[in-house]
Homo-oligomer: A and B are copies of this chain.
Amino acid sequence: MKIVVVGGVAGGASFAARARRLSETAEIVIFERGVAPSFANCGLPYYVGGEIQTRSKLLVTSVEQLRVRHKLDVRPRTEVTAIDRERKVVSFRSLESGQTGEMSYDKLVLSPGAQPRLPPVAGAQSDRVHTIRDLTDADRLWQAVQDNARRVVIIGGGFIGVEMAENFRRRGFYVALIERSPHVMAMCDQEMTVPLQQAMVEHGVDLYVNDEVTNIDHRNDVVDVNLGSGVRLVVDLVVAAIGVDPENDLAKAAGLDIGPRGGIVVNEHQQTSDADIYAVGDAIETIDFITGGRTQVPLGGPANRQGRIAADHVFGRTTKFRGVQGTAIVGFFEHSAGMTGMSEKRLKLSGIDYRKIYLHPAHHAGYFPGAEQMTIKLLFAPADGKILGAQIVGKKGVDKRIDVLSMAIQAGMTVYDLEEVELAYAPQFGSAKDPINMAGFIAAGVLRNDQPIIQSADLPAMLEAGAKLIDVRTPKEFASGHIPGAVNIPVDDLRNRLGEIPQSTSIISYCKVGQRGYLATRILLQNGYDARNLSGGFTTWQLLHPRSE
């Protein structure tokens, strides 16, 4: 068996290591365009920022180790230029010597990755406009940072953009971040990105959302970045992080099926439309675990698992890739934002029926020092309570709850299951009623109609239609800020002041996070009112009405 792998890193290197464990005798060749077939892609921003101080840390496995330990024929700095599917042969060319050659294969594995996009504007093609894909890019950027550069424009507010913003701020750079969407982290719902954006502003990032770069002028030592809004930013360098395009040239030229967004089409065993050619990682189109549809998710975790599964299949096993859920997390200094499953905007686009709740629990017992508030948005199916997606933002414990909810989605669990989840509790780690249980209680309460809720976005229409809004917090809390139009009746006075509340109209109660509002709603419902609780309370309402914007 002779296997040729095109491209290393997550997918290709995982494939090769697994293939070697499954067969000592297979001949395995890896062509890698870059210098290192196995490096820590996700660490690059932190290397530029100095958080990872030694470059060698990024080299997960050296070429030498791949050769000796895994008996792999590694060809760095070598590009595969064509696939001849008839003859089962690839053509390659050394990027150093220029020498070309051919190599036959029994099985071919494509792991070419994805190409960072450059903004389609004048001046984008320049050595002062960086993208981050491999070690060479990181080296160039690292060198620029050692030189006199002190100011950077980052184009794009996704994972890489946000991480680069943190890392340049850590180095003391002036940082402006430009995002064309109305908010950073476009894969999340807008309101859930508000805390992250506020944190970015607090950490000194100049944030331009709903804006875009129109052209880049290079003058002597500086770069002028001109925005659609008319702003001109004068900086030393530019980092473009506006997404990636699957590297599909080779596959396309070979006539393999390509999806509508450019990803190489594969089946559940990672086989392309040619059964002897597999594809893994950022270059492919894969299965959406929730909808069963097709998606493209350029993340390291799935790439690793796809590499294993392709190797299994090459050696006669029937393991299947179950699809991606879109579980991901981004850190920004002490803040983090995690997601799993579908966002509300994707549910809307897909026409899937959903309900949602918000909550703002502490990450561990409130009585234990250092408790940090997080915001959880849970999306679930009204029919059976099945969990469809979740987003969490906060300072601590976000990664844990996203992972727990990712498990819930993988297992097909419902909000009723979350009520019963048994999580590890000691006051420094969680709460007797963990945020996950609380999410289950609230969501199940909504579906059982114990707790009719309304969403902040629907508030204006309800008030317009004559609903009354009651703030059930204390007078002090009310005085320090409340939703326009609200009347203050603290929950502890509510039973005695029912006479002030008309029975003839819908009543909406709210508190800080939703807990007292829930009790108020229960009191009102049982007294014959048409009552609802504002999901997530004033805290969620503020996410939809951020002060600084």
Seen from chain A, the residues whose Cβ lies within 8 Å of a Cβ on chain B are: 10, 20-25, 40, 42-43, 46, 51-53, 57-58, 60, 65, 68-71, 159, 163, 289, 299-305, 308, 321-322, 324-325, 327-331, 336, 338, 340, 365, 367-369, 399-400, 402-404, 406-408, 410-413, 417, 419-430, 432-434, 437, 441, 450, 491-492, 495, 516, 518-519, 522-523, 526-527
**A411's contact among B159, B163, B413, by CB below 8 Å, is which?**
B413
Check B42–A492 contact: CB distance below 8 A: no
Q: Are A423 and B400 in contact (CB under 8 A)?
A: no
The closest CB in chain B to the CB of A159 belongs to B426
Residues of B within 8 A of A526 (CB): 23-25
Contact call B52/A425, Cβ cutoff below 8 A? no
* A51: contacting residue among B305, B368, B522, CB under 8 A: B368
Report whether B425 and A329 are in contact in the complex, using a CB–CB cutoff of 8 Å. yes
Cβ contact of A425, chosen from B301, B426, B522, cutoff 8 A:
B301
**A429 to chain B: which residues have CB within 8 Å?**
329, 331, 336, 399
A-B complex: 6 closest residue pairs judged by Cβ atoms? A411-B411, A329-B424, A407-B407, A300-B432, A24-B526, A400-B400
Q: Are A302 and B42 in contact (CB under 8 A)?
A: no
On chain B, the residues within 8 Å of A336 by CB distance are 429
The reply to whether A368 and B406 form a contact with Cβ atoms under 8 Å apart is: no
- 8 further interface pairs, Cβ-Cβ under 8 Å (given A21-B519, A411-B411): A40-B365, A40-B367, A52-B367, A53-B369, A329-B429, A406-B421, A407-B407, A407-B421
CB < 8 Å: which of B402, B427, B518 contacts A42?
B427
CB within 8 Å for A10 and B432 given contacts A24-B522, A24-B526, A40-B367: yes
Looking at the assembled complex, report how far the CB atom of A189 sits from the nearest CB atom of chain B, in whole angstroms.
17
Q: Are A42 and B365 in contact (CB under 8 A)?
A: yes
A432–B305 Cα distance when bound, in Å, is 9
Report B-chain residues with C-beta under 8 Å of the C-beta of A367.
Answer: 40, 43, 52, 57-58, 60
Distance of A330 Cα from B526 Cα, bound (Å): 42
A424 contacts B24, CB within 8 Å? Answer: no
CA distance A308 to B440 in the complex (A): 13
A-B contact pairs, 7 of them (CB 8 A): A42-B425, A52-B368, A300-B425, A301-B423, A410-B413, A410-B421, A411-B411
Q: Known contacts A367-B57, A407-B421: does B21 contact A432 (CB below 8 Å)? A: no
Query: A308 to chain B: which residues have CB within 8 Å?
Result: 419, 441
